[in-house]
A and B are shown apart, each in its own frame.
Chain A
Amino acid sequence: GAGVSQTPSNKVTEKGKYVELRCDPISGHTALYWYRQSLGQGPEFLIYFQGTGAADDSGLPNDRFFAVRPEGSVSTLKIQRTERGDSAVYLCASSPLSGLAKNIQYFGAGTRLSVL
């Protein structure tokens, strides 16, 4: 079946601009996660959704970052007034909340964001 899909795969923007990154989770997965990964480091947690609501947004670095999941499926990560330090790969993952796979997170290939 289809895995987690992230678009675009690459995004180049200028400092100060607004960007939106999209994540299509695996169908039926209630949980959705956003991570950020800098070069040579492991992923860093940003936010977790259970259904439509953000159950934990403690990893969002500041109020320029915001994420939504209005219908409990597709999610959008929004970054306002981008800064060069926001350049990273943004990863999305989804998982079911029950069953044998409930402890497993399935990742997309990520969106590489470059802020010039």
Chain B
Amino acid sequence: DAKTTQPNSMESNEEEPVHLPCNHSTISGTDYIHWYRQLPSQGPEYVIHGLTSNVNNRMASLAIAEDRKSSTLILHRATLRDAAVYYCIQSTDSNYQLIWGAGTKLIIKP
């Protein structure tokens, strides 16, 4: 079973920031948080991952709570192309076996 919980769906307006939450209350000190997204009819695509500190890359930012029991994926300016299912996954550094939940379906309104 997935170790993370996410809302089933979220809506946002185009060109506005989006904050996608994830709870991972059973996380241990060496577990990473990964985010992937899956556009319709495509394979999943890596977005970002982190351990303790907040992380930024060209796609998004990852804000990790101080107690590490939750995190938020931030899309700074959503476009219609960001409409996808976003998966938050908890795994150890050496754990190749990602355990996926159902993810959050992000709907972007023009």
A residues at B contact (CB < 8 Å) = 4, 31, 33, 40-45, 48, 55-56, 59, 91, 93, 95, 103-110
Interface pair A56/B97, CB less than 8 Å apart: yes
Interface pair A104/B99, CB less than 8 Å apart: no
Interface pair A107/B44, CB less than 8 Å apart: yes
Q: CB within 8 A of B98: which of A41, A45, A55, A110?
A: A45
Interface check B101, CB cutoff 8 A: yes
A40 CA to B102 CA in the complex, in Å?
7
Max chain B C-beta neighbours (<10 A), residue from A42, A43, A106, A109: A42
- Given known pairs A42-B102, A42-B103, the reply for A33 and B96 (CB within 8 Å) is yes
Shortest distance between the CB of A83 and any CB in chain B (Å): 23
The secondary structure that dominates the B interface is: loop
Interface pair B87/A108, CB less than 8 Å apart: no
Interface pair A4/B46, CB less than 8 Å apart: no
Q: How many A-B residue pairs have CB under 8 A?
A: 50
CB-defined contacts of A107 to chain B, threshold 8 Å = 43-45
- Given known pairs A4-B43, A107-B43, A109-B42, the reply for A41 and B49 (CB within 8 Å) is no
- Given known pairs A48-B97, A56-B96, A103-B32, the reply for A42 and B2 (CB within 8 Å) is yes
From A59, which residue of chain B is reached at the shortest CB distance?
B97
Per-position contact with A for B28-68: 1 when CB-CB < 8 Å, else 0? 00001010100001111110010000000000000000000
Shortest distance between the CB of B32 and any CB in chain A (Å): 6
A105 CA to B38 CA in the complex, in Å?
13
A47 CA to B45 CA in the complex, in Å?
19
